[in-house]
Amino acid sequence: MALEDSVNPMQGISGPGSFSKRTDLQYQSEGYGDGVAYDAAKAGAPLAKSPDVRGATPTAVRDAAEASITPLFAPTQRPDEPITTGIDMGPGAGSDILMGRPQATEKLSDTLAKMLPYDQTGEVAILYQNALARGM
């Protein structure tokens, strides 16, 4: 396709959906016999295979969900681990054992201070004052 074809106002622009005209997918021969060589080259190149992307059936989704959910009143799966493991109070390891969790680099009061100009109800101001009083 030549440059003058793409800017030709008589050709028009491509429409939406079924009215679209993709000229980049059409083979345009320059000379006699070029189509045969093009078809031979195209036949020699393997086409990409798309994976099977069929969705799971509702039954399979439900069965997978039921298999991974621990019921609320089930017995503990870690009887020797304190319930406060992972937080910074009580027995057990603190939050330093949690991998991949970024540590807070900014105080809570600093974050709330950035929100104060947008506080229309006064609730953020109250939280800000409480955070300042606690040194957070």
| HEC letters along 73-115 | CCCCCCCCCCCCCCCCCCCCCCHHHCCCCCCCCCCHHHHHHHH
Distances (CA, A) of 110 to 60, 87, 95, 103, 118: 47, 22, 22, 15, 14
80-123 pLDDT, tens digit each: 988 888 888 888 888 777 776 566 678 888 889 998 888 888 89
- Across residues 64-89, what is the average pLDDT? 83
Q: What is the phi-psi region of residue 122: left when phi exceeds 0, alpha when psi lies from -120 to 50, beta otherwise?
A: left
Q: What angle do CA 54, 60, 65 make, to 5 degrees?
A: 120
- Listing DSSP states for 15-77 in one string gives -SGGG----TTS---SSTTHHHHHHHHHHHSPPPPPP--PPPPHHHHHHHHHHHPPPTTSPPS
Q: Answer whether residue 17 shows pLDDT above 80.
A: no
Mean pLDDT of the chain: 77
